[in-house]
Chains A and B, each alone.
Chain A
């Protein structure tokens, strides 16, 4: 079964996900959206807030700060009048099952 991670998301949220596809995990060489590191993105129109909930593939990952800063910079550059908050969570724990179908194709699995 193919899962389109952008399906049923409002256009703006979909655009945010698409923007984050340009952030690449330096070790795995795959973008963080298809890697399944982004758990949720919500945009609060009245307060102009974008809240990103994400995880990392490994706790204590040396590139963790870099990835989080990348997300913040990419979104801030594109939506400068919005407040960006990136929340790092460890539950649920990331597994390879989080990788999207598109990600699997990029890894050469499909």
Chain B
């Protein structure tokens, strides 16, 4: 008897490879934080900070997100992935591009090497966006998750194009405004357009599914989609034609959208049937609060002028969003997704077997707990070090984050080895 109800996508090994590459990038970021504590003391436009931010945003968080979407998007929309070959191309060019960009930023080599790395990244992101766009448009019925994912892809592409232009602007200085003006745009379209919309789209499906919740209020999600996209479009127009004078209006729109989503997630939690919530889901909800703190800091930044406090707070905002909210989500959700992928590979042909472990039995829960035991104080110390301008405190934070990354990577290796053996 043969059934084929599952959708077709890249192999489990390919998705696992994204997780492995991502965890190595996370380890390297933590080593860099430990080694380059003094980089946090100055302006956020610091070569070593730029290297760390790009390694974290692309090599770590986006790498894991991209790998995960190859599984989740076809499942959520019940369609096959458009092209496996494009996924392979995107993966290898992303690795090459991230290594090139991080190294050239770290040593601030702004010539052809950085330009080639930027073009490689653009090719990688372009092929990924095309692949996922063709996949999502196979789904014909109206679907709010598809809308979130498609707009996130568009904003990712805009972020990558703007980033590439900024790299070329180092050598040819052709952009009419100063570099920091476009850097602000590049960072925020990436944060809100790519990361936030994708997280919203995926979580709006996963949370009710994992928690068995009755809440699937698509009207609230639709309003959230309009508000966040309105905020990003408004910000783009305001920055290009109005010198960013109406940023507070864009923030208000964005904050209203995020509030809608927070309300949706609260409702999912309140109406869940699964009262015994597992570790990764419990941690995911706690990590979401870090996102809300980042939004509040963003509002404070809008009021402050470009003074010393502004600089410290701007770095805190970036660290909290990338290193807190997004890293926390990835650290937790990895253990909902990857064990399930490995489990399917190991046991898909053992349907008749009497005793089969559950996906949650495949990873080491002590290591998972240790990962967060070191991560939370590590993050707190890193932020405290930035605010206090103390390299020692930053280094201590970096050390704890490195220990957290070590336990995370150990669990990833443990899971992947099961599939290889």
**Shortest distance in angstroms between A37's beta carbon and chain B's nearest beta carbon?**
12
Contact indicator A96/B214 (Cβ below 8 Å)? yes
CA distance A109 to B75 in the complex (A): 28
Task: Say whether A27 contacts B5, CB under 8 Å.
Answer: no
Q: Tell which of A27, A62, A84 touches B71, judged by Cβ atoms closer than 8 Å.
A: A62
Are the C-beta atoms of A62 and B6 separated by less than 8 Å? yes
Q: Is the CB of A65 within 8 A of B5?
A: yes
Q: How large is the interface on A (under 10, 10 to 19, 20 to 34, 35 or more residues)?
A: 20 to 34
A107→B275 contact, CB < 8 A = yes
Chain A residues positioned under 8 Å from B3 (CB to CB): 64-65, 68-69, 86, 88
Of the residues B5, B77, B347, B358, contact of A88 by C-beta under 8 Å? B5
Interface residues of B in 1-43 (CB under 8 A from A): 1, 3-7
Given contacts A26-B358, A96-B273, 9 further A-B contacts (CB under 8 A): A26-B347, A26-B359, A60-B74, A61-B6, A65-B4, A88-B5, A107-B273, A108-B274, A108-B276
B interface residue count range (under 10 / 10 to 19 / 20 to 34 / 35 or more)? 20 to 34
Does the CB pair A59–B78 fall under 8 Å? yes
User: Which A residues are CB-close (under 8 A) to B76?
Assistant: 58, 60
- For A73, list chain B residues within 8 Å (CB): 351-352
Select one of B212, B347, B358 contacting A99, CB under 8 A: B212
Q: Is B107 engaged at the interface, CB distance under 8 Å to the other chain?
A: no
**B→A interface (CB under 8 Å):** 1, 3-7, 71, 74-79, 209-210, 212-214, 273-276, 340-341, 343-344, 347-348, 351-352, 358-360
Contact A56 B273 (CB under 8 A): no
Q: A62-B6, A66-B344, A107-B274 are in contact. Are A27 and B351 (CB under 8 A)?
A: no
Minimum CB distance partner of A63 in chain B: B344
Per the bound structure, the CA–CA distance linking A96 and B276 in Å amounts to 16
| Alpha-carbon distance between A60 and B4 when the two chains are bound, in angstroms | 9
Chain A residues contacting B341 (CB-CB under 8 Å) are 62
Does A57 make an interface contact (CB < 8 A)? Answer: yes
A110 CA / B379 CA spacing, docked (Å): 38
Distance of A64 Cα from B340 Cα, bound (Å): 13
Q: In the complex, which of the residues A26, A70, A72, A99 contacts B340, with contact meaning CB atoms closer than 8 Å?
A: A26
A62→B347 CA distance, assembly (Å): 12
B358 in contact with A60 (CB, 8 Å) = no
B348 touches A60 (CB 8 A): no
A17-47 interface with B by 8 A CB criterion:
24, 26-29
Q: Which of A26, A28, A61, A97 contacts B5 (CB 8 A)?
A: A61
